[in-house]
Chain A
Amino acid sequence: MSSGEYLHVVTVDDISSGRRLLGRAMIWGSLGLLALVAGLQSQQVWGGQDLGFTNWRPTLYAYLVFSICLCWAQVILRGEQGKRTLFVLPAALFVVSLTVFPLLFGMIIALSDWNLSSPNGRQFNGLDNIRQMWADPFYWNALTNMIWYCLAILPEYIVAFGLALMLNTQIRARKFFRVAFLLPLMLSPVAVSWMIGKSMLVIQPAGPIIRLLRTMGVESPALFSNGWTAKAVIMAMDAWTFIPFMMIMILAGLQAIPKELQEAARVDGATGWKSFWEVTFPLMLPVSITALLIRLIFKLKLADVIINVTSGGPGGATDSVTSFIFREYRDRSNVGYGTLLAMVYLVIIIVVMTVLMKFADKALRPRT
């Protein structure tokens, strides 16, 4: 992005020293208030004095006052410039306070032995959790499963591309097909997992898919008793929900291709398959990579369907990292260990995504 696109406005701000003082006073005053309240509260928690606080809400309120004062003081201190900062500052403050603090806090939790159901409370235990993780076959199993789940994106991509290509041709009732194809994305994964995952796939004599399989000659179609079929079914259900998402991105890309290019290719004698591989597909590469990366991000969060349909079974064959940690908390209230697993997962994701984005950049650069 070059700086030429920005809006350039020169304003004369005459900010009196009194106003400046007021602005500073607001920031530091509210910060002082925050420090005071937080100090008093920690005094009660760690110092043993009873000051009548029942929870940390007062600190939260003081923090909110501080945030508002900080935003307001921008305008008082810096005039027009401050009004511009006001566009971004609320969102930035919001995100920082809701991710950075919990993440820092999470690091402390991750290095402690903390079971919410045990009366001992939090105890720092250094690297014990890491050692436990290293020896935990179920966590590694969940990570391996995630690799399989992520590989399932490729078939999804092919189907989505095919559907987008068909929707992009001259067809009747295009609106109907678009709406019908979009609907799976709108449905709640929980409802989907019960009504498809359980009702259609599990109820023994009655589920439509069970009956379909039986007429096709499968003897005892119990889909969730075998690890691989269970995994495949989870993949299929997740694909069902998210194929529309990729399809729409690819469709938007297809519609942005200038018609002249395809006509020129046709004049040059490229037909059907060849015109697709040599004209359409290369042109679609940037969109495809964006769609695949975003799909990957959503795939890494996969949990709802697994929690509701199989709860990880049989024998952990369908566990994703998220559903595994969810159960670690639900069944054992093991906050410390669960957080460490999540942190490790986050590190892996960041590394993988950074590498992938580097590759994507490299793949795109010579073409554009």
Chain B
Amino acid sequence: MSQIFHDAPADRQFRAKWFTGRVAIYGALLLWAFICLFPIYWTATTSFKAAADVMKGSMIPYVDFAPKWLGWKSLGLSPETILQDSTVREEFLRRFWNSTIIAGSSSVLATVIGAMAAYGLTRFQFKFLWMKNDDISFFFLSQLILPPVVLALPFLVLYKELALLDSHVGLIAIYTLSVLPIVIWIMKDQFASIPTELEEAAMVDGLSIWGAFLTIILPIALPGMVAALILSLVLTWNEYFFAALLTSTYANTLPVMVASQTGSQGISWWSMAALSFAAILPLIVIGIGLERFIIKGMAAGAVK
């Protein structure tokens, strides 16, 4: 039986064009997704390889090579070693804890004082010497331009005099400083989109300005605050430059530990991979779980 109704030739051409367009788009998307994910896959699999597998460059577990717990054993985190005492594991956990406490407290601190400043700057008019609100905002944001290297050496000398080298407090202070402009930027955007009538109503009902800020405005701005907090966490968790300069044995963070893994007999890639993977895993989890906050945070200020 032959078909009675045909698509017009123009339509058929259109369908073909549409189809190739789709294929091209998905092809490009998949290619880029592969580029993004392959290094993570490579890190994860390398941590299960033995020396010979690393040298051969085997790719697929169970097919190319038999996975072993070698890398994780060297960290004291494999099933056999997890119950035994292990100095390497203690070292790793100490660095992990350092990273957590430094990144965590500096992000929280930056979010708190940054949100306060952003709120003040969007709601009240200030005048300090010649500086009006816009100038004060610019002063905060201009800190973003300051390259870390300019502050690094003066801080090194200052911290030495203050006995703050290799301490948590020292790193927390400087990390807070480095993410504060970003927090203020995101939060200003948030607060500007909340109408002032809300506070006016709250204050008519008898709340003080701080009461209105804490009980009315902050809950509304919470998504933005979470976004700012997560972005700060990402930046501070990964920070290497200051950590490498200002810490030596006590307050080292994970990136410093990763970078100092070169032993005398070359690099043992399996343990390097295990360590790297352990260092990036928390952020991968955050990235997958809280992706929409991160995107929200970075999109703030992009669109006015």
Which residue numbers of A lie inside 8 Å of B, CB to CB?
1, 3, 5-7, 9, 54-57, 60, 80, 83-88, 90-92, 94-95, 98-99, 101-103, 105-106, 109, 162-163, 166-167, 169, 171, 175-192, 194-196, 198-200, 203, 205-208, 211, 240, 244-245, 248-253, 256, 286-287, 290-291, 294, 297, 300-301, 303-304, 307-308, 321-322, 325-326, 329, 335, 338-339, 342-343, 345-346, 349-350, 353
CB-based contact A95/B140 at 8 Å: yes
Question: In the assembly, what is the distance between CA of A200 and CA of B154, in Å?
Answer: 37
Contact partner of A188 (CB less than 8 A), chosen from B147, B258, B273, is: B258
Q: Are B180 and A95 in contact (CB under 8 A)?
A: yes
CA A1 – CA B295 in complex, angstroms?
26
- What's the minimum C-beta distance from B49 to chain A, rounded to whole angstroms? 10
Contact among A55, A57, A109, A175 for B154, CB-based, below 8 A: A109
Find chain A residues with CB under 8 A from B218 CB: none
Q: Is B219 an interface residue (CB 8 A)?
A: no
A-B pairs with beta carbons under 8 Å apart, 12 shown: A5-B196, A84-B124, A91-B140, A169-B25, A171-B26, A188-B279, A190-B259, A195-B43, A199-B43, A249-B298, A251-B295, A339-B154
**Distance in angstroms between the alpha carbons of A270 and B46 in the assembled complex:** 50
Judged by a CB distance under 8 angstroms, whether B294 is at the interface is yes
Report the Cα distance A363→B146, complex, angstroms.
Answer: 25
For B213, the chain A residues whose CB sits under 8 A away are: 87
Q: Which residues of B contact A171 (CB under 8 A)?
A: 25-26, 29
Residue among B26, B43, B173, B174 facing the most chain A CB atoms (10 A cut-off): B43
Of the listed residues B162, B258, B277, B298, the one surrounded by the most CB atoms of chain A closer than 10 A to its CB is: B298
Assess whether B151 is interfacial by the CB under 8 Å rule.
yes
Q: Which of B33, B114, B254 has the most CB of A within 10 A?
A: B33
Cα distance A30–B294 when bound, in Å? 42
Number of interface residues of B (CB under 8 A): 106
> SS class of chain A's interface: helix, strand, loop or mixed?
helix
A98 to B240, CA, bound (A): 19
Chain B: minimal CB distance from A257 (Å):
10
Report yes or no: A195 in contact with B124, Cβ–Cβ below 8 A: no
* Number of A-B residue pairs with CB-CB distance less than 8 Å in the complex they form: 313
Q: Mark B242-279, 1 if CB is under 8 A from A, else 0.
A: 00110000000011101101000001010011001101
| Beta-carbon nearest neighbor of A336 in chain B | B153
Residues on A with C-beta less than 8 A from B280 are: 186-188, 191
Q: Is the interface of B mostly helix, strand, loop or mixed?
A: helix
Of A54, A88, A92, A178, chain B has the most CB atoms within 10 Å of the CB of A88
Do residues B43 and A56 form an inter-chain contact, with CB atoms below 8 A? no
Report the Cα distance A359→B304, complex, angstroms: 19
Docked pose: A1 CA to B54 CA in angstroms: 59
Query: What are the 3 tightest A-B residue pairs by CB atom distance, in nearest-first order?
Result: A87-B120, A252-B299, A206-B57
Which chain B residue shows the least CB distance to A338? B153
Interface-located stretch among B5-13, B79-87, B282-290: B282-290
Closest to B256 in A: A190
Q: CB distance A199 to B153 under 8 Å?
A: no
**Contact present for A88 and B150 (CB under 8 Å):** no
Taking the nearest CB of chain A, how far is it from the CB of B8, in angstroms? 19
Contact, CB under 8 Å: A6 / B196:
yes
Give bound CA distance, A188 to B39, whole Å. Answer: 12
The reply to whether B283 and A187 contact each other, CB–CB distance below 8 Å, is yes
Indicate which residue in A91, A244, A286 contacts B114 across the interface (CB closer than 8 Å). Answer: A91
